[in-house]
């Protein structure tokens, strides 16, 4: 298995520290609002990675944290006139619901920052003792970036270049504009915890260093996250963790690609910001998941009506192949599993893996007159699809997904009315009913056994 390492900027043969067992940490949500599509992109990407590692026989400990205290959470709780516990509790419940609907499996551990305050304080104290951090006059504790010689290696940045571009209006309490906060002194009315430097709360970056090393050890195999976290968050994690432990922090760094909306960066100011739950009100969750799986995890994804239509049509090809076939495990001619495995072992190449599945679907259709071979091919198609979190429903359930605002009893009534018109040889009326249903996304399929329907909505 080869994985692209952001740190070395190349694919590397993956060799876990503990042969056969993988320890992976992924930066999770800051729970001040509902998850948006960018979060969904990251969640699904690492869900596929998790599924494949386990399918490949690795024992996996997957840790994905929750940031439940930071500036955004405090501001939102104050604006809502609620406690941070009430706000974060609601958002965590909503996040878990969104994950389930997208088929994202839960992590093995889901540590929360507020449960690791003591661990954070111990790490900060160690950094101060080793000269990598200092208690400033304003009560905050800062990390000395220039003290860590490898700073910038993950993102191929030179601290001197970063210093020359730093803002002029820097925090005067810092020794250097590049220094970042480890502990923020308490502001009256805000959540705080006691510490050797006075009441306060942790900075965002130190939270992940403490949680990851507490859960997985000083050095672990994989650290992942969204594309916006490589700098400065992950760069700062490396500096903090390695300075505190004296050991290499992470062997392989992985970053998911960005998600764009109509080829533009998603932002509230552009009016193209979508939460997961808003999207799933209008679109089938499996269609959204397919869109996120169909691109390589490191590639950017464009979310737009046409891309969702393409995703729907692709899934229909699979489910149409499975429709009416009795899925039974059996011998399959062809090297489908071998090529699927090769694709996934090549840095989790899901587009190539899906190409293998499309070949399988064609073979199912080609062998429909051979129930034994068609059933075995269908079994293999479903098995491979399940590895990607797809094809976990019956064909009827997916193909007859009722569009929003349409009752399936209404559809049945319209089919019966059309049949009556055909019996009366009123073909104009029969065509009118068929076309009216098609306009609503309901496509009728006539056969000797009768009339069935599928949905072409998203």
Question: Is residue 215 a known part of a binding site?
Answer: no
Burial of 377 by CB count in 10 Å (0-12 exposed, 13-18 middle, 19+ buried)?
Answer: buried
What is the second-level CATH architecture of the domain 260-399?
Answer: Up-down Bundle (1.20)
CA distance 134 to 146: 13
Instruction: Please list, in sequence order, all residues whose beta carbon lies within 8 angstroms of the beta carbon of residue 223, skipping any fewer than 6 positions away.
Output: 24, 25, 26, 212, 234, 237, 249, 250, 252, 253, 254
pLDDT tens digits along 222-255: 999 999 999 999 999 999 999 999 999 999 999 9
Question: Is residue 268 a known part of a binding site?
Answer: yes
CA distances from 239 to 28, 144, 205, 211, 243 (A): 20, 9, 10, 15, 6
pLDDT tens digits along 386-400: 999 999 999 988 987
Residue 180 is predicted with a pLDDT of 97
Question: Is residue 35 a known part of a binding site?
Answer: no
426: tokens are 């009123």
Pairing of strands 2-5, 10-13: antiparallel
- Positions of the chain with pLDDT under 50: 164-169, 458
CA distance 433 to 414: 7
Question: Is residue 214 a known part of a binding site?
Answer: no
Helix (H) or strand (E) holding 185: strand 180-185
Instruction: Please list, in sequence order, all residues whose beta carbon lies within 8 angstroms of the beta carbon of residue 110, skipping any fewer than 6 positions away.
Output: 28, 63, 64, 65, 66
Question: Is residue 286 a known part of a binding site?
Answer: no
Query: Closest Cα to residue 225, out of 190, 191, 256, 200?
Result: 256
In contact, 39 and 47? CB cutoff 8 Å: no
Residue 27 is predicted with a pLDDT of 98
Query: Closest Cα to residue 388, out of 348, 345, 337?
Result: 348
End-to-end CA distance of the chain: 35
Put simply, whether the predicted model's pTM sits higher than 0.75 gets the answer yes
Cis bond upstream, residue 232 (ω within 30): yes
Beta bridge partners of 265: 260
pLDDT tens digits along 24-73: 999 999 999 999 999 999 999 999 999 999 999 999 999 999 999 999 99
CA distance 77 to 343: 45
Residue 273 is predicted with a pLDDT of 85
- 301 phi/psi in degrees, rounded to 5: -115, 135
Under CATH, what is the fold of the domain 2-256? Rossmann fold (3.40.50)
Residue 285 is predicted with a pLDDT of 96
Residue 441 is predicted with a pLDDT of 77
CA distance 167 to 436: 61
- DSSP annotation of 247 reads S
Count other Cβ atoms within 10 Å, centred on residue 88: 26
Burial of 340 by CB count in 10 Å (0-12 exposed, 13-18 middle, 19+ buried)?
Answer: buried
Residue 170 is predicted with a pLDDT of 56
CA distance 437 to 308: 21
Q: What size, in residues, is the chain?
A: 458
CA distances from 157 to 84, 151, 153, 160, 231 (A): 36, 8, 6, 9, 10
CA distance 183 to 207: 10
Residue 456 is predicted with a pLDDT of 66
């Amino acid at each position: 298995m080869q994985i692209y390492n952001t740190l070395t900027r190349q694919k590397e043969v993956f060799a876990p520290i503990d042969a056969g067992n993988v320890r992976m940490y992924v930066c999770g949500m800051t729970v001040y609002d509902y998850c948006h599509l960018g979060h969904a992109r990251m969640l699904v990407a690492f869900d596929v990675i998790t599924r494949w590692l386990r399918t490949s026989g690795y024992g996996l400990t997957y840790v994905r944290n929750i940031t439940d205290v930071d500036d955004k959470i405090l501001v939102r709780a104050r604006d809502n006139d609620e406690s941070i516990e009430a706000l974060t509790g609601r958002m965590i419940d909503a996040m878990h619901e969104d994950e389930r609907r997208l088929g994202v499996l839960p992590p093995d551990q889901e540590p929360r920052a507020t449960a690791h305050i003591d661990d954070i304080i111990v790490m900060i104290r160690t950094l101060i003792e080793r000269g990598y951090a200092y208690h400033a006059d304003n009560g905050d504790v800062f990390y000395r970036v220039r003290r860590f010689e490898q700073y910038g290696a993950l993102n191929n940045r030179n601290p001197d270049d970063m210093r020359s571009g730093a803002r002029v209006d820097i925090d005067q309490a810092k020794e250097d504009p590049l220094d970042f906060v480890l502990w923020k002194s308490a502001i009256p009315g805000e959540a705080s915890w006691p510490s050797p430097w006075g009441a306060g709360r942790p900075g965002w970056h130190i939270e992940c260093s403490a949680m990851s090393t507490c859960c997985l050890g000083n050095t672990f195999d994989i650290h992942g996250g969204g594309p916006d976290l490589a700098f400065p968050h992950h760069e700062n994690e490396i500096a903090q963790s390695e300075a505190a432990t004296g050991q290499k922090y992470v062997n392989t760094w992985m970053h998911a690609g960005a998600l764009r909306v109509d080829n533009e960066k998603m932002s509230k100011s552009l009016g193209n910001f979508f939460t997961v739950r808003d999207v799933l009100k209008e679109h089938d969750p499996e269609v959204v998941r397919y869109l996120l799986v169909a691109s390589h995890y490191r590639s950017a994804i464009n979310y737009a009506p046409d891309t969702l239509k393409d995703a729907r049509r692709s899934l229909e090809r699979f489910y149409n192949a499975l429709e009416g076939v009795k899925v039974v495990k059996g011998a399959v001619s062809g090297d489908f599993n071998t090529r699927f495995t090769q694709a996934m072992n090549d840095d989790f190449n899901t587009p190539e893996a899906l190409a293998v599945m499309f070949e399988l679907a064609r073979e199912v259709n080609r062998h429909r007159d051979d129930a034994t071979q068609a059933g075995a091919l269908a079994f293999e198609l479903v098995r491979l699809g399940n590895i990607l979190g797809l094809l976990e429903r019956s064909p009827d359930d997916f193909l007859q997904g009722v569009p929003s605002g349409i009752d399936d009893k209404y559809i049945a009534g319209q089919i019966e009315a059309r049949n009556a018109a055909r019996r009366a040889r009123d073909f104009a009326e029969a065509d009118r009913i068929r076309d009216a249903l098609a306009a609503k996304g309901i496509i009728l399929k006539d056969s000797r056994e009768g009339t069935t329907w599928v949905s072409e909505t998203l």
